[in-house]
Structure 1
């Protein structure tokens, strides 16, 4: 299982709507509004890194109102 944080910048005025829509995507564990350089922080999980990209990251990036994303895979030591 691969887990990651996905940092999301939204277009102005769309934070709450985007966070709600992201939370409905399969593989998203949690999506929360935050302050700072990013607007939404998402915790996601999938079987492997390829599935994470296909099933979680790509659907998030396709949402209207998304300006930019940054995916940070979690490294377990």
Structure 2
């Protein structure tokens, strides 16, 4: 399995709602709203990097209220 963290900025006041929405999407392993420069941190996974790029990440990015994302693939492939 290929995994990545997606760091997300949202519209003001929408982080909690968006984190809950993201938690139900296919490929989303965890979703938390946080403080700091990003509002939500999501851990995503797929069987391949191609699937992660073509299906999982675009699904996350299409949620209304998200203004910016940064996808960080996990380099070592370690499982939680």
**Fold shared by both chains (TM-score > 0.5):** yes
Scaled by the length of structure 2, the TM-score of the pair is 0.91
User: How many residues in Structure 1 have an aligned counterpart in Structure 2?
Assistant: 77
Give the whole-Å Cα distance in 1 for the aligned partners of 2:65 and 2:53: 19
Runs of 4+ in 1 over 6 A off after TM superposition: none
Render the CA deviation track for 1:40-72: whole Å, top value 9, x for unaligned.
Answer: 000111011111122211011111100000000
Residue 38 of structure 1 corresponds to which residue in structure 2? 38
- After TM superposition, the structure 1 = structure 2 runs for residues 21-32 of structure 1, keeping only pairs within 5 Å, are 21-32=21-32
1:21 Cα shift?
A: 0.6
Which residues of structure 2 form unaligned runs of 5+?
none
What secondary structure is seen at the aligned counterpart in 1 of 2:64? coil
Scaled by the length of structure 1, the TM-score of the pair is 0.94
Which residues of structure 1 form unaligned runs of 5+?
none
**CA RMSD for the aligned pairs?**
1.1
